[in-house]
Amino acid sequence: MSLYKYLVISVVISLVSIVNTNSQSQPGSISYNWKSVQIVGGGFVDGIVFHPTEKGVCYCRTDMGGAYRRNPQTLCWEPLLDWLSYDDLNLMGIESIALDPTNPDKVYLSCGTYTLPHVPNGAVLRSNDRGETFERTDMPFKMGANEDGRGNGEKMAVDPNNGEILFLGTRNDGLWRSTDGALSWSRVESFPDISENPPANMKNQDSLRWWSRMNQGCGVVFVLFDSKSASPNNTGSIIYVGVSLKNRYNIFRSTDAGITWQTVPGQPLKYRPTHAVLANDGDMYITYGSSPGPSRMTDGAVWKLNTSTDEWTEITPDKPDPQNRPFGYAAVSVDAKNPQSIIVSSYHRYEISNGEDIFRSLDGGKSWKQVFLNGGILDSALAPYTSRTGIHWLFDIEIDPANPNHAMFTTGFGGYETFNLTDMDKSKPTIWSVMTTGIEETVALDLLSPPQGAPLISAIGDYSGFVHWNLEKPAPEGNFDNPRFGNTNSLACAEKNPEIIVRTGRATNFNPGKNIGYSTDGGKIWQPTETLPFPQSSLGWVTVSADGKTWIWSPDPVRSGWGPGSTVQPSAVYLTTDKGANWLQCKGIPDNTRVLSDGINSNTFYGMNLFEGKLFISRDGGISFLEHKIELPGGLPKQSENRGDRRGGQDQLYATPNREGDLWLAAFEGLYHSYDGGTTFTKLNGVEQVHAFGFGKSAPGMDYSALYLIGTINGLHGIFRSDDIAKTWTRINDDQHQWGLLLQITGDPKIFGRVYIGTHGRGIIYGDPVKK
């Protein structure tokens, strides 16, 4: 491996800026059929809610991919919030679900993904038809469905004695109540102060953020009604509220429908409550952890409260040791027909030989048996990639109130279910199958549809990525292996030799240091490169020359850590011509610049710094780059944080397939085209905002790729296709198919009209035109 010192050769060329005078009114539309590319799961399903009396009514929530209702006939989950627009992307994170015990048609969702200052407030969605349609009430506070404690719950509940009354717990704004079926809300001012404050001498903002992340709870974590005990004024039930506090009171009770509140006497204070359930005999079971999770837990317990006598009993199945056996407890469920039959789940028990487990008791917690230690079997056939990932993040576990043999638990990639839970009482193994069919929660960081071979190859956050030979079925071989990544950030193939495919990411502990992989047979077999440009090389962007002989990689900057005082070191751009046996530092191009290859000329590569107006072009196979000046009509855009999601496809340069020197500049606020390798750029009128851009097979009778764009054209936001080099655009989605935040788009070069959409938490969607 040889490195060359950084060298900049600057050649400034006066470029001609041209404005495309073509304009049109709001784009027309055509109908598309939309389906999910089958991965199955791929994200944190953090809550499951069964209706207590109506068999087959079940919902689940995700931390950033919306909510689902299960179809009891097909056992597939059906998404409920695909209609959410880009403007409402924050509502794709579901903080809590509540069902009306007296009306199985009613469902309530508290929505909001983050509590950050720049994020909009949350909302409560209410439905009278099991989620077919929703009405909305905007709330005056934020929710944090993708923050610490998101697996705790449920924060919202409906009064079983009066379906018009709901209580909703928040992270930072106390307890709220509605008396009109979630149409309006007011804060319960009498509820105790549950705020947590950092040390008085901590002033540094980085330190404060780090303290909040590592040392703070998550506000109210559960609301429970005692359905058998109406309050004295007969306006509601006794209410229990748990709060993510430790070393102070954290379980509160109201016996007058929420007018006044008292602490439950004798309660344990050492840990933060995570889940609670009230059995039909009046006993309440509560799981505790040293943190809310998924942040690390080092300690925890399980307790039982006799709500009639206020007697507390510790029933912890396996006591943690913070020094030698650190873990906690995440969730608990009770059999609706047998109050002595309970199950609880552990969290962060990875360092123990048997790992996470579910503990089951038939005597109210006096004795326990472990599900998986006693022969429980995990069947991953419905999502083969899960066989490589152990169960983790079991933050909800539920026994079906209509069937004590049926239980579910959630994981970071979806969840499992069994239909023979009680067999373990006969010393027989329980069989747990993937239960997440229909749920697609991955985040696509890059999409590649090669000119030949597999329909699609995906780069996925957390779960590496997949070669999708059959869009209708999960990949039977699972996700990428050899090397196996956590995140895969970038994919590239050789335009004229598409069996050569390269991917970059960050390897898991199974393949440490193997952060780039390649295939020479279209993705059937993968292998890592022999070397890296430097030992910490990972993630970033990769491109492959049209003939497949040259690969150029711009790895991510190298971080020294994530807390206060951490540093970031930039990374140079490197090329290899021998499949990674040796690497050469590219000259004349700044550190961390994304490079792309020309669609025809294997010696030509491009890089760009949009905000400085610099285009970098190599004509010698990437060995050296010359700097050119970019001039755009109206001037260069200003760099700011308000330019879409940084993982999206905006503010990037694209090279048209099978065309030499044909470039598209997809700036966030407009689209530009160059036919001459970047010497002149034409601005396309009507394109007001770009979030992603891509190419697909040309329309019949055309010899230029179809263009696909996510953004806003003439005031209309959506997904668009152009068959005539951006002279006209057609919207191809509708208001029922918006999926919140969209990051990636590419057409299929093999099938005209087919398009692939990479969402933020709703998996990968693909569409085909409706046949007339």
Just list the catalytic residues.
Answer: 63, 462
Q: Using an 8 Å Cβ cutoff, are 39 and 758 in contact?
A: no
How far apart are alpha carbons 200 and 192 in whole angstroms?
A: 22
Structure tokens, 422: 């009680």
> What CA–CA distances, in Å, run from 214 to 38, 149, 217, 270, 412?
36, 12, 9, 17, 20
Nearest alpha-carbon partner for 115 in 222, 249, 217: 217
How far apart are alpha carbons 379 and 400 in whole angstroms?
A: 20
Q: Using an 8 Å Cβ cutoff, are 743 and 759 in contact?
A: yes
Q: Using an 8 Å Cβ cutoff, are 37 and 763 in contact?
A: yes
Q: What is the DSSP string of 288-328?
A: EESSSSSSPP--EEEEEEETTTTEEEE--SS--BTTTB--E
Q: Using an 8 Å Cβ cutoff, are 439 and 413 in contact?
A: no
How far apart are alpha carbons 767 and 772 in whole angstroms?
A: 15
How far apart are alpha carbons 408 and 99 in whole angstroms?
A: 18
Edge-to-edge order in the sheet of strand 300-306: 272-278, 283-289, 300-306, 311-314
CA dihedral 608, 522, 471, 721 (to 10 degrees): 30
Q: Where are the beta strands (DSSP E) in 561-713?
A: 568-569, 574-576, 584-585, 595-597, 605-609, 614-618, 626-629, 652-655, 663-667, 670-674, 680-684, 687-696, 706-713
Map tokens 């027909």 to a residue. 337
Inter-residue long-range contacts of 672-679, CB under 8 Å, 24+ positions, other chains counted: 672/632, 673/20, 673/725, 673/726, 677/604, 677/606, 677/617, 678/15, 678/606, 678/615, 678/617, 678/628, 678/630, 679/13, 679/15, 679/16, 679/628
b/e per residue 658-681 (b: at least 16 CB within 10 A): bbebbbbbbbbbbbbbbbebbbeb
**Residues 6 or more apart from 364 whose CB is under 8 A from it?**
283, 304, 315, 339, 340, 342
Q: Using an 8 Å Cβ cutoff, are 67 and 761 in contact?
A: no
85: three-class secondary structure by DSSP? coil
Element (H, E) at 212: helix 205-215
- Is the peptide bond prior to 555 cis by the omega test (within 30 degrees of 0)? no
393: three-class secondary structure by DSSP? coil
**Residues 6 or more apart from 324 whose CB is under 8 A from it?**
none
Length of the chain, in residues: 772
Residue 122 phi, psi (nearest 5): -85, -175
